[in-house]
Structure 1
Amino acid sequence: MTDTPADAVVRIEDGAGWRRLTLNRPDKLNSFNADQHVALKAALDAAAEDRSVRAVILTGAGRGFSAGQDLSDRNRAPGAPPPDLSETIERFYNPLIRRLRTMPVPVIAAVNGVAAGAGANIAFACDLVLAAKSARFIQAFSKIGLIPDSGGTWTLPRLVGRARAYALAALAEPVTAETAESWGMIWKAVDDAALAGEAEALAARLAAMPTGALVRLREGLDLAETGTLSAQLDWERDAQAALGRSDDYQEGVAAFMEKRPARFAERS
Structure 2
Amino acid sequence: MSDQKAAEFVEADGLATVRLNSPALTREVKEELLGALRLAAESTTARAVLLLGSEKAFCVGQDLAEHARILDEEPEQALTTVREHYNPIVQTFESIQVPVVVGIGGACVGAGLGFALAGDVRVAARRAKFGTAFTGIGLASDSGLAVRLVRALGSARAMEMMLLGTTIAAERAHELGLVTEVVDDDAWEQRARELASVLAAGPTSAFVAAKREVRSASEGGRDLPELLEEEADLQNQLGVTGDHVGAVKSFLNKEKPAFSGS
Q: TM-score, length-normalised on structure 2?
A: 0.91
Query: What pairs up with 1:188-203 in 2 under 5 angstroms?
Result: 188-203=181-196
Q: 230, 251, 264: which is aligned to 2:259?
A: 264
- Summarize deviations over 1:91-139 as a string: whole Å, max 9, x none: 2111211211221321111011001100011000101111101001110
CA-CA distance at 1:55 after TM superposition: 1.5
Q: Which residue number corresponds to residue 224 of structure 1?
A: 217
Query: What pairs up with 1:1-268 in 2 under 5 angstroms?
Result: 7-25=4-22, 30-74=23-67, 75-76=69-70, 78=72, 81-83=75-77, 85=79, 87-225=80-218, 226=220, 227-266=222-261
CA-CA distance at 1:22 after TM superposition: 1.3
SS of the equivalent of 1:121 reads helix
Matched-pair identity in %: 33
Instruction: Please tell me whether the aligned partners of residues 41 and 95 of structure 2 are also in contact (alpha carbons under 8 angstroms).
Output: no
Instruction: Please tell me whether the aligned partners of residues 201 and 261 of structure 2 are also in contact (alpha carbons under 8 angstroms).
Output: no
Cα distance in structure 2, aligned partners of 1:51 and 1:80: 41
Instruction: Please tell me whether the aligned partners of residues 41 and 92 of structure 2 are also in contact (alpha carbons under 8 angstroms).
Output: no
- Summarize deviations over 1:142-187 as a string: whole Å, max 9, x none: 0111122211111111111111110101111111111011111111
Check 1:53–1:79 CA distance in 2 against 1; reply closer, same or farther (3 A cut): closer
Check 1:17–1:81 CA distance in 2 against 1; reply closer, same or farther (3 A cut): closer
**What is the number of equivalent residue pairs in this alignment?**
258
Q: TM-score, length-normalised on structure 1?
A: 0.89
Check 1:77–1:202 CA distance in 2 against 1; reply closer, same or farther (3 A cut): closer
SS of the equivalent of 1:7 reads coil
Cα distance in structure 2, aligned partners of 1:11 and 1:172: 31
SS of the equivalent of 2:13 reads coil
Cα distance in structure 2, aligned partners of 1:170 and 1:80: 29
Bigger mean CA offset, 230-239 vs 258-267: 258-267
Amino acid corresponding to residue 50 of structure 2 in structure 1:
I
CA-CA distance at 1:265 after TM superposition: 1.6
Structure 1 regions of 5+ residues with no counterpart?
A: none
Cα distance in structure 2, aligned partners of 1:103 and 1:223: 15
Amino acid corresponding to residue 55 of structure 2 in structure 1:
G
Bigger mean CA offset, 162-171 vs 251-260: 251-260
CA-CA distance at 1:244 after TM superposition: 1.5
Structure 2 regions of 5+ residues with no counterpart?
A: none
CA-CA distance at 1:192 after TM superposition: 0.9
Amino acid corresponding to residue 70 of structure 2 in structure 1:
R
CA-CA distance at 1:15 after TM superposition: 4.7
Amino acid corresponding to residue 250 of structure 1 in structure 2:
V
Check 1:198–1:79 CA distance in 2 against 1; reply closer, same or farther (3 A cut): closer
- Summarize deviations over 1:199-248 as a string: whole Å, max 9, x none: 11101110111111112211111111212222211111111111113222
Instruction: Please tell me whether the aligned partners of residues 121 and 180 of structure 2 are also in contact (alpha carbons under 8 angstroms).
Output: yes
Check 1:68–1:81 CA distance in 2 against 1; reply closer, same or farther (3 A cut): closer
Bigger mean CA offset, 74-83 vs 250-259: 74-83
SS of the equivalent of 1:99 reads helix
Cα distance in structure 2, aligned partners of 1:116 and 1:64: 9
Amino acid corresponding to residue 6 of structure 2 in structure 1:
V
SS of the equivalent of 1:76 reads helix
SS of the equivalent of 2:211 reads helix
- Summarize deviations over 1:17-54 as a string: whole Å, max 9, x none: 323221112xxxx1222222222222222223334422
Amino acid corresponding to residue 214 of structure 1 in structure 2:
F
